[in-house]
Structure 1
Amino acid sequence: MGEMFECVLFTASLSKYADPVSDLLDKGGAFQSRLFREACVYHKGNYVKDLSRLGRDLNRVIIVDNSPASYIFHPDNAVPVVSWFDDMSDTELLDLIPFFERLSKVDDIYDILRKQKTSS
């Protein structure tokens, strides 16, 4: 994905925990930036990932997350995924590759995201 997109790790975890884990998981350097809890907005008891803080055109930004509370400010940009904890056979992100490839070719992600959500 790092070849098709500017990938940013945006987590509500603390950097002291998430940074070393990210180093282990991202051996290929796909993530160009990392944002941690400090970059989130604390809103009604949740740490929300405010995509407008990225300084990017939101027509071209998606958030892949298992927590709807994390993207409550930008639900139209979300690609919801199921939590994968302890499921070593999970392939959801791999299954989404053709979808991400389609998204990489458009200037406005909203139409494709809407169609994906209505077909799910």
Structure 2
Amino acid sequence: MVSKISNRRTKIPKKASPKHHQRRRKKSPLKSLAAAPSALASSIDRSLRSCRRHLLKLFTRLAVLGTPTKLPRKTGGYCRLKPLSDEALHHPPSPYNPLPENTHNNKKKTIFLDLDETLVHSQTDPPPGKYDFTVHPMIDGRIMTFYVLKRPGVDEFLKAISKSFEAVVFTAGLKEYASLVLNQLDPTGELISHRLYRDSCREMDGKLVKDLAGVGRALDQVVIIDDNPNAYSLQPENAVPVSPFVDDLGDRELWRVMEFLEVDLLRCEDERDAVACYRTGNAMEVKSS
């Protein structure tokens, strides 16, 4: 009996370990890194919303300060418009560069003159075999040289028409170039009354057109002398066409036009009638007014 008791092992219960002795699990560094961008984005979003609220408040205050407390009262009611005169109806203002009013006492008729291939011919390098003078305009940041040959009779032509007509050069050339050429043709400024350049032309279908209806002169009192039909395509009935001049020193075109201007054009009340006769070869039969 004793031996049975001594051989039996008594089981001693294990004591429960206190909680503070348990090992805590550390958070995974990968999970911490994954949560960082989300927190940063949330912080930026809060900052943007706060900034937007402040800006709205600021602009609201500025709008209140800039708004007048009382609007000015309109006085006088409706304004009655004056009727347009016959002159204004037939010759409305142009958005281009109209000429100043014709101040000649006898209201001279107006001759519009083309420049290149009508009064002169010019070219750049290389120099041609014959030319009368050179000009050196600056175009697109570069100084260029133009060799200019005057059409035979151009000096006499300008002197003659300036006595009886208002001579206006209307060129599609750039002002930088054309103004220097005209200074050579008319150094005193007494022959050519006005100058119109490319900025006074209208661009139509890629072509430069000289609209005589937009320069402040009555169409029955003007003619245009030009070698390019595209230039006067809007008013062909006002055009005296001439052959293009290049280098023919035996050219007599300006003498022929001068005779027409001095003999036939001055006698007509409507210059378009004289032009029609000239173009059909019956210029000398124009009836005087």
Q: Do they fold alike, i.e. is TM over 0.5?
A: yes
Matching of residue 53 in structure 1 with residue 214 in structure 2: yes
Structure with greater Cα Rg: 2
Q: Distance in 1 between matches of 2:202 and 2:212?
A: 10
The equivalent of 1:109 in structure 2 is 271
Deviation of 1:83 (Å):
0.6
The equivalent of 1:119 in structure 2 is 281
The equivalent of 1:69 in structure 2 is 230
TM-score when normalising by structure 2: 0.40
Query: Do the aligned residues in 1 keep the contact of 2:172 with 2:201 (CA within 8 Å)?
Result: yes
Deviation of 1:105 (Å):
2.9
1:82-101 equivalences under 5 Å are 82-101=243-262
- The structure 2 residue matched to 1:8, chosen from 152, 164, 168, is 168
Identical-pair percentage: 38
Instruction: Give the root-mean-square deviation of aligned CA atoms.
Output: 1.4
- Could you give the per-residue CA deviations for residues 4-31 of structure 1, whole angstroms, max 9, x where no partner exists? 1111000000000000001111246311
Q: Distance in 1 between matches of 2:162 and 2:224?
A: 14
- The structure 2 residue matched to 1:41, chosen from 198, 202, 207, is 202
- The amino acid of 1:108's aligned partner reads D
Q: Distance in 2 between matches of 1:43 and 1:113?
A: 25
Deviation of 1:99 (Å):
0.5
Number of aligned positions between the proteins: 120
Task: Name the SS for the 2:237 alignment partner.
Answer: helix
Higher relative contact order (CA 8 A, sep 6+): 1
Matching of residue 19 in structure 1 with residue 179 in structure 2: yes
TM-score when normalising by structure 1: 0.93
